[in-house]
Chains A and B, each alone.
Chain A
Amino acid sequence: MGSVTFEDAVNAAMRLEAQARTRRYIKLSAWAALAVAALWYSAHQIKFSLAAVIHGVPFMWDFITRLFPPDLGYLTVLGGATVETVQIAIWGTLLAIIFSIPLAFLGARNTSPHIVVFHLTRLLLNSLRAINELVFALIFVSAVGLGPFAGVLAVALHATGMLAKFCAEEIEGVDKGQVEAQMATGASRMQVILFGVAPQIVPQFIGYAIYRLDVSIRSATVLGLVGAGGLGFSLIQTMKLFKYHQTATCILVIFLLVLISDWICGKLRRRVI
């Protein structure tokens, strides 16, 4: 009683702090050692070798020289494929937007009608996200045939997973007060979502959808590798026919397309947010 002075209390806290710091350092060193070991083992497994890179330089140089000069005459042929690439991305993203809105509300803890629905939706979204567009494209090429429509479906499914997951997380982060105020007026469940939740997430959703369009254009440039339309088809075809000057043109067009879409989408996003 009363024997603990102010000085004693402060010193005790200082000692505790020092102990906690020592523990933190020990923990950090252990994790760092583990990470180094894992990386070392992986490097060995994947046959990481600087020698192979150096040894390969002449072959790379050979390939690059064969690409030059790009066959600019081939640009006229690529026009259609370029437009098709953008069309695949636009339709794929549009379908993704349409699918992801209801899925986002079902997959958000605070708007899902039931905890089971929530978990099932999240499971679906995670599977869509886990599967790469190229894998989806392979499946759809065999389902709906070769061509751009298989690409549209591939882009749409993957983008739905990404967009809905993002949107669901935004929904979970909304200001609860604004939602409660809508409930208090006697609004129906749907009206609460429309007037209390939606206004809080719309700008972020549009911003992310534009970003997804940009990403979809990138993906659409390679979907042709598996026969799902767009520039990738010309890329793989010219390569297989050893028309490397035309391949170079394809790479150039893809590069320019990605650059332009990045620039436009960036501008659009800044307008919304």
Chain B
Amino acid sequence: MLMPGSTQSAPTILSVRGLSKSYSGTIHALRGIDIEVKEGEFLVILGPSGAGKSTLMRCINRLVEPTDGKILHNDVEMTGKRRNLRAVRRQFGMVFQQFNLVKRLSVLTNVLTGRLAYRSTWRSLFYNFSKEDKRIAIECLARVNMDHKAFQRADTLSGGEQQRVAIARALAQQPTIILADEPVASLDPKIARQVLTYLKQVTQELGITVLCNLHQVEYTREFAERIIGMSRGKVVFEGTAADLTDEILHRIYYRDPDEQDDKDHS
């Protein structure tokens, strides 16, 4: 059992090496990212909007193809293999800022979609899932205390509830890593803390590693076991909440006016 804070000794589950992404050769979203993620940790990627946090996550589960660099999951390289894309993606559960539940489907069906990558297209054609899948989905809902709303339509839930269902959907994939992209950016502070608490507790119980993008410093201090600071497509800080000084925060949130590609900000 992994304890929080003991992650330094844990093995590396994901390593990102020299990852770059540019759009049409001119806009550089990521400029050579190197990150080591330890198994079972709750890693927060902190940075302002436009720092490249979202792009980094989308590169990891291949919703976006990186321009350069490598991503290794348990020492297996994942970049450049289009064939087993489904098998790669199902190992990464994703939680979005806008929840992205399918609004017209029930809560349970939404969680069941987390099982799609395990089933053939043919079998899901008529929206029927196996008994085993249903059990997994209901268990995941129960972990975030949303099982009592399983048969309600997703768009009848509040924002916080929708995000808990979205967490359950990610859990239903039985992933090794959950990528949470600004999961609380559209929630009020009370609900935001509740959602982050669920995310952290449940993943700790199941030994799932979490990469969580945040732009709020307070939540980061409260929930992160380790922090990576990003600014303009680069890693500018790595450490714990205790290392997060004002000087470091300045480096993350305010651009250095000496850098040449910063003309727009003078």
Contacts and interface: CB of A to CB of B under 8 A. Distances in A.
A185 interface: yes
B103 A194 contact: no
Nearest to A201: B104
A237 interface: no
A185 B63 contact: no
A187 B90 CA distance: 8
Interface residues of B, number: 31
A194 B124 contact: yes
B255 interface: no
B67 interface: no
B102 A191 contact: no
A185 B121 contact: no
Nearest to B125: A194
B104 A185 contact: no
A182 B90 CA distance: 11
B85 A186 contact: yes
B110 to A, nearest CB: 9
A179 B9 CA distance: 38
A181 interface: yes
A187 B116 contact: yes
Given A185-B169, A185-B173, A180 B63 contact: yes
A195 B105 contact: yes
B89 A185 contact: yes
Contacts of B42: none
B179 to A, nearest CB: 8
A201 to B, nearest CB: 10
Contacts of B88: 186
Interface string A247-264: 000000000000000000
Contacts of A188: 86, 116-117, 121
B37 interface: no
B61 interface: yes
A151 interface: no
B41 to A, nearest CB: 21
Given A177-B96, A181-B94, A186 B89 contact: yes
Contacts of B87: 186
B7 interface: no
A202 B103 CA distance: 12
A12 interface: no
Given A199-B102, A199-B105, A184 B94 contact: yes
A18 to B, nearest CB: 31
A195 B112 CA distance: 10
B94 A200 contact: no
Nearest to B97: A177
B240 interface: no
Contacts of B125: 190, 194
B163 interface: no
A191 B116 contact: yes
Contact of A200 (B104, B113, B124): B104
A175 B100 CA distance: 9
Contacts of A200: 102-104
Contact of A186 (B105, B116, B121): B116
Given A191-B121, A195-B113, A186 B173 contact: yes
Nearest to A194: B124
Interface string B77-120: 00000000111111011101010111111000100011011000
Interface in B206-222: none
Given A195-B102, A199-B102, A199-B105, A183 B96 contact: no
A30 to B, nearest CB: 39
B114 A185 contact: yes
29 contacts: A178-B102, A178-B103, A180-B63, A180-B96, A181-B96, A181-B102, A181-B166, A184-B61, A184-B63, A184-B92, A184-B94, A185-B89, A185-B93, A185-B169, A185-B173, A186-B86, A186-B87, A186-B88, A186-B89, A186-B173, A187-B113, A187-B116, A188-B121, A191-B124, A194-B125, A194-B127, A195-B105, A199-B105, A200-B104
Given A195-B102, A195-B105, A203-B104, 6 more contacts: A180-B100, A181-B100, A187-B117, A191-B121, A194-B125, A200-B103
